[in-house]
């Protein structure tokens, strides 16, 4: 039986990952760990059996004990201090968490001398500011992090390479671009915008204001349900030591996203810019190339952006 250890299990990516595994009809035993208790139920699955344990991944002893007891065949490392904006406010906490929890994880595997595939989830933020002629970004592009969060993600990737080269560990890495979907917390920009637009619609007004940061920035968004398919493929068939972009290959500004969602809801929007939501330094345009993962694994994103946005709107309307 496939035995997957999933860190950051209380996040929305892990929830969608479990849903995807259930849909495959294969049998899986999942061990979810997180510092927070999940806010969703997982006793309804037929093919996926889930056990959760509240764990502080900064504790070397706890991490080693869980890995030794569970004996995973694969590890999906999702746990992170994942907000770029918050990393500017709490850089020490962001760097310490994102780097040290990963180091604790891979060093425990090394000390236990276990043969286990690890998927290290990184970020498109590692690429930093680029010129238009550098787009779309490929995996061989030089890294140039411009936020505390991005520096921590680059460190995680470098640690992976060191443990692959020095200890022969089986680690595959991603640089995951922005992913969106229902059940994402509203500390993330698209979910926050969707929630505000739903509140405007429910107020009965045909026109109103929402609060945002810099809506001119361009990002590459992929539906989380496509992302988890990519992660599962990488756990099964990704090449050891390789880095893969997980992205759509399409760039769109936040202003355009707002316009699409406003149209779907039938409202008109005025945007109030809150300077507190603008980062000290930000990547102006991030668009990735997914040719490598398409070529090697046959993965491609299939859920249209417009459907992703509609599903996020429906989620907030129901909640």
Question: How does pLDDT run across 166-185, given as a tens digit for each residue?
Answer: 999 999 999 999 999 999 99
For 14-45, how does the pLDDT look when each residue is reduced to its tens digit (9 = 90+)?
999 999 999 998 999 999 999 999 988 888 89
243: β partners? 173
Q: Length of the chain in residues, anyone?
A: 319
* pLDDT level of residue 279 (50, 70, 90 thresholds): low
Q: List C-alpha distances in Å: 198 to 89, 188, 189, 235, 269.
A: 28, 16, 14, 37, 12
Give me the residue spans of the domains in the chain: 2-180+221-250+287-302, 189-217+251-285+307-318
**Average pLDDT of the chain?**
95
71: left (phi over 0), alpha (psi -120 to 50) or beta: left
Residue 307, CA atoms < 13 Å, CB-side half-sphere: 9
At the top level of CATH, which class does the domain 189-217+251-285+307-318 belong to?
alpha beta
> Is the Cβ–Cβ distance between 101 and 7 less than 8 Å?
yes
Write phi, then psi, for 31 (nearest 5 degrees): -115, 110
What would the mean pLDDT of 100-115 be, rounded to a whole number?
A: 97
Question: What span, in angstroms and rounded, lies between the C-alpha atoms of 245 and 62?
Answer: 31
Portion of the chain with pLDDT greater than 90, in percent: 88
Q: Do domains 2-180+221-250+287-302 and 189-217+251-285+307-318 have the same CATH topology?
A: no
Q: State residue 245's pLDDT score.
A: 98
Q: Is the pTM of this model over 0.75?
A: yes
Architecture of domain 2-180+221-250+287-302: 3-Layer(aba) Sandwich (3.40)
pLDDT at 277 over 80: no
User: Hey, what are 151's tokens?
Assistant: 């520096």
User: Hey, what are 278's tokens?
Assistant: 């603008």
User: Hey, what are 97's tokens?
Assistant: 């968490």
């Amino acid at each position: 039986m496939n035995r997957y250890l999933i860190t950051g299990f209380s996040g929305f990516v892990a929830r969608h990952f479990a849903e995807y595994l259930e849909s495959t009809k294969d049998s899986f035993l999942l061990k979810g760990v997180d510092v927070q208790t999940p806010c969703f139920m997982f006793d309804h699955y037929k093919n996926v059996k889930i056990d959760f344990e509240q764990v502080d991944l900064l504790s070397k002893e706890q991490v080693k004990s869980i890995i030794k007891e569970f004996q995973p065949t694969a590890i999906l490392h999702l746990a992170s201090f994942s907000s770029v904006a918050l990393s500017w406010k709490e850089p020490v906490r962001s760097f310490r968490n994102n780097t040290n929890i990963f180091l604790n994880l891979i060093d425990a595997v090394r000390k236990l001398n276990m043969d286990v595939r690890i998927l290290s989830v990184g970020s498109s933020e590692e690429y930093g500011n680029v010129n238009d002629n550098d787009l779309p970004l490929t995996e061989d592009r030089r890294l140039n992090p411009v936020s505390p969060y991005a520096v921590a993600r680059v460190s995680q990737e470098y640690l992976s390479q060191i443990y692959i080269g020095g200890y022969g560990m089986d680690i595959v890495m991603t640089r995951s671009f922005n992913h969106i979907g229902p059940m994402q917390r509203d500390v993330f920009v698209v979910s926050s915008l969707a929630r505000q637009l739903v509140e405007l619609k429910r107020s009965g007004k045909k026109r109103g204001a929402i609060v945002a940061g810099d809506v001119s920035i361009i990002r590459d968004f992929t539906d989380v349900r496509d992302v988890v398919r990519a992660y599962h493929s990488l756990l099964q068939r990704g090449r050891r030591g390789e880095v893969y972009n997980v992205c759509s290959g399409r760039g769109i500004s936040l202003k355009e996203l707002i316009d699409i969602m406003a149209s779907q809801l039938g409202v008109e929007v005025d945007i109030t810019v809150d300077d507190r939501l603008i980062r000290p330094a930000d990547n102006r345009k991030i668009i990735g190339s997914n040719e490598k993962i398409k070529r090697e694994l046959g993965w491609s994103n299939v859920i249209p952006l417009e459907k992703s946005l509609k599903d996020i709107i429906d989620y907030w309307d129901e909640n």
